[in-house]
A and B are shown apart, each in its own frame.
Chain A
C-alpha cells in the first residue's frame, strides 16, 4: 500500500507525534513495508469467525468496593516535570 505524506501527517497527529525531514521519509517507507507485511492476514479465511477480544474465560472478576487511600496528591505530582503544590503545569500557550 502506498503511504502518502497526507496519511503520515494524519496518523502522526492522531498519535501526537511529529516526523520531519529524513524521519518522515523513513517512517513512510517503514509503514509501507509493515503494512504490506501485515496484509498477509488476508490469506486466512475468517468467514463467520468472531473476533477474539478477551483472552481470559473469567467474567466480571470484581473485588469488594472498599474505602481506602491510594496515592496522595504529593505522590501523584512527584514525577511530573513541571508542577506546583496542587497542579500539573503546562507551558504557556502565549509568550510575552
Chain B
C-alpha cells in the first residue's frame, strides 16, 4: 500500500523497486476497471520505464520524482500517445508533442501510467459528458465523481496512481476533488504552461494536480511551473521548490465569504463544518472575518458568456479534415465540416459552441461578450480588494456532496451552478485549493476551499498543509 509519494520514497529507501510500485498500481487499475476511470493504460511502457528508473536509482542519477506514478487527464498531449478529450471528434488522434507540464514531470523521472476519463473537452461537472461513458465515484458507485476532471479525482480516491493531473477552467479540479475526497489545486492563471493542454477557454484554463497530501501537490506544482517558450501568457518569474513550513506564531487575517454560506441550497452540514473550521482557526489565534461578495449570482453567467465564446473560437480547429473524425457520405468542404462536427461533438459541447457563437455574433457581441469582460473586471477588482486586507479567503468548494449519476443530466443550468463557489478563482485568475473536510452523514466526502492572492502559491500551500495537519 502506497498512499503518498513520501511512503513510496521510504519504501524505495528500504529496497523496494519502482517496477514493484508500478505493478502495484497496474493491479489496482485492473481491479477497478468497472469504475471507468482510465481510458487507456500504458502498462508495458510504464513497466519498462520503471526498470529504467530503477537502474537510475542504483546509479544515483534518478530525478526528484523517481517512484511517482502519474495519470493524465485525457486533454494533455503526450507524444506518440492517443489523446481524445473524451470526444469522438478526436477519433484516432495521436499527439505530435508532449505538453510542457508533462515533459517536466517526465524529466524528473515520473512515470506516466495512462489517460484518465473526463467530461468531453473539459465541459461538465459530473464526468457524464464523456463519449466513453461516465466515471463512477469510488466512495459510492451510484454517484458522480464530479467533473470535468472526474477520472483524475477518482483515480486518487481509488489509489490508482500517486498523483494525477487535471485542468481547471471554472472548478474542474476543485469540484471533483471535493466530491471524491482528495486534494485538488488550481494554481494562478499563467503559472503553468498551457502548451499541450487541449484548450477549452484560453483565458481561464489552468493545469493542476490531484493528490492525497499537500506535499505531493507542492512538489509537482513547483516542477510544472515557470516560463516556457511556448506559452507567452506565463508569469516570467522562476519557481523553485515550495517551502511548506508554516510559522504557527504568525497570525493570519482570513476572510470568508458570507454570501456563500448564507446562500439557499447550501447543504447545512457543509455549512456547519465550514463554520467549525473557521472557529478552529480563530481558536488558534487567527483573525477570521466575514466579507461580502455581492456578485455571487452573476459569476456563473459571466463565466458562461466568456468561456463559451473562447471555446467556440478554439473549437473551429476540429473540422473533420486536418485530424480526427470525418463523417461518411460528405461532399465538399462546408458539408464535411458541418457533418463531421455535428456527429463528432457531444451534446454539451455543441450547446456551448452555439452559446459562444451567439454571444460573439453581430448584434449581440457588445451586449454579452463585452459586457461579460467588463463584469469580469468588476469581479477581479472586488477580489483584489479582499486580498488587500486578507491573506486568504475560505469558502466551501461545493454546495453539496456528489449527486447521483443521471440526476442533473437534463438540466444544463442546474449543472452549471455546480461551479458557483469555484469560478471566482478562474474569473479573477487566483490560485485556489480544495482540501477534503471529512465525510457527510450521507457517507460522501466534501471539501473546503482556500483561495490566495495571485502568485501566492507558496503561502497558500503552506497554510493548506497546516490546515490538513492541525485543523479540525
**Are the CB atoms of B338 and A79 closer together than 8 Å?**
no
| Beta-carbon contact of A75 and B298 below 8 Å | no
Bound form: Cα–Cα A80–B378 in Å: 44
The yes or no answer to B142 lying at the interface (CB within 8 A) is no
CB within 8 A of B413: which of A34, A63, A75, A79?
Answer: A34
Interface residues on B, range: 35 or more
- CB-based contact B355/A31 at 8 Å: yes
Known: A16-B341, A63-B229. A56 touches B190 (CB 8 A): yes
Q: In B296-350, which residues have CB < 8 Å from any A CB?
A: 297-298, 300-302, 304-305, 312, 316, 319-326, 330-339, 341-342, 345, 350
Cβ of A79 and Cβ of B304 under 8 Å apart?
no
Known: A17-B342, A62-B232. A27 touches B96 (CB 8 A): no
- Identify the closest chain A residue to B231 (Cβ): A61
Q: With a CB–CB cut-off of 8 A, which chain B residues contact A35?
A: 355, 358
Q: Are A88 and B322 CB-contacts (below 8 A) given A18-B339, A93-B332?
A: yes
Cβ of A69 within 8 Å of any chain B Cβ, yes or no, is no
Is B459 positioned at the interface, with any CB of A under 8 Å from its CB?
no
Contact of A53 (CB < 8 Å), options: B234, B302, B325, B373: B373
| Interchain CB contact under 8 A, A81 and B190 | no
Cβ contacts under 8 Å, A4 to chain B: none
- Which of A37, A71, A76 has the largest number of chain B CB atoms within 10 A? A37
B319, closest chain A residue (CB): A16
Contact A27–B338 (Cβ < 8 Å): no
Chain B residues, CB < 8 A from A18 = 338-339, 342
Q: How far is the CA of A93 from the CA of B443 in the complex (A)?
A: 59
Within 8 A of B (CB), among A23-75: 27, 30-31, 33-35, 37-44, 46, 49-58, 61-63, 71, 75
Collect the chain A residues with CB atoms within 8 Å of residue B412's CB. 30, 33-34
Q: A58 → chain B, closest Cβ, in Å? A: 6
Distance in angstroms between the alpha carbons of A12 and B75 in the assembled complex: 26
Selected interface stretch from B15-23, B162-170, B282-290, B364-372: B364-372
Q: Are B305 and A41 in contact (CB under 8 A)?
A: yes
Residue of B with least CB distance to A12: B354
B331 close to A93 (CB less than 8 A) = yes
Question: Roughly how many angstroms separate A33 CA and B321 CA in the complex, as a whole number?
Answer: 33
| Cross-chain contact A75 with B368 (CB below 8 angstroms) | no
- The minimal Cβ–Cβ distance linking A84 to chain B, given in whole angstroms, is 13
With known contacts A17-B350, A78-B94, A44–B295 Cβ distance under 8 A? yes
Asked whether A43 and B189 contact (CB < 8 A) given A52-B376, A80-B321, the answer is no
Known: A38-B359, A51-B374, A79-B324. A90 touches B339 (CB 8 A): no
Q: What residues of chain A lie closer than 8 Å to B359, measured between beta carbons?
A: 38
**Which size class do A's interface residues fall under?**
35 or more
- Residue with the highest number of chain B CB atoms closer than 10 Å, among A11, A30, A55, A63: A55
B292 proximal to A (CB < 8 A):
no
Complex contact B330–A91 (CB within 8 A): yes
A91–B377 alpha-carbon span in the complex (Å): 46
Q: Are A37 and B354 in contact (CB under 8 A)?
A: no
- A41-B81 Cα distance, complex, nearest whole Å: 42
Give the docked Cα–Cα distance between A62 and B232 (Å).
Answer: 7
Interface membership of B406, Cβ < 8 A: no
Cα-based distance from A43 to B236 in the complex (angstroms): 37
> In the bound complex, do residue A51 and residue B370 qualify as a contact, i.e. CB atoms below 8 Å apart?
yes
Contacts of A46 in B (CB 8 A): 371, 374-375, 377-378
Residue from A27, A39, A49, A81 with most neighbouring chain B CB atoms (10 Å) = A81
A52 CA to B302 CA in the complex, in Å? 12
Please tell me if B233 contacts chain A, counting CB pairs below 8 Å: yes
Closest CB-CB distance, A57 to chain B, in whole Å? 8
CB-CB nearest in chain A for B94: A79
In the assembled complex, the CB of B67 is this many whole angstroms from the nearest CB of chain A, namely 33
* Contact with B326, one of A12, A71, A82 (Cβ below 8 angstroms): A82
A27 to B355, CA, bound (A): 10
Select A27's contact among B235, B322, B354, B370, beta carbons within 8 Å. B354
In addition to A34-B355, A88-B322, 16 A-B residue pairs with Cβ atoms within 8 Å of each other are: A7-B358, A16-B319, A17-B338, A17-B341, A38-B301, A39-B301, A40-B297, A43-B297, A51-B376, A52-B373, A58-B190, A58-B232, A61-B233, A62-B232, A79-B322, A80-B323
* Closest A-B pairs by Cβ, 7 of them: A51-B373, A79-B323, A52-B377, A46-B374, A81-B326, A93-B332, A61-B232
Residues of B within 8 A of A (CB): 92-94, 96-97, 189-190, 203, 227, 229, 232-236, 295, 297-298, 300-302, 304-305, 312, 316, 319-326, 330-339, 341-342, 345, 350-351, 353-355, 357-359, 361, 368, 370-378, 380, 412-413, 416, 429
Interface residues of A (CB under 8 A from B): 7-8, 10-12, 14-19, 27, 30-31, 33-35, 37-44, 46, 49-58, 61-63, 71, 75-76, 78-82, 88, 90-95
- Can you list 26 residue pairs at the A/B interface with Cβ under 8 Å? A15-B357, A16-B316, A16-B337, A17-B353, A18-B339, A27-B351, A30-B351, A30-B412, A31-B351, A31-B354, A31-B355, A34-B413, A35-B358, A41-B375, A46-B378, A50-B374, A51-B377, A56-B189, A56-B190, A58-B235, A58-B236, A61-B236, A71-B97, A81-B321, A88-B322, A91-B330
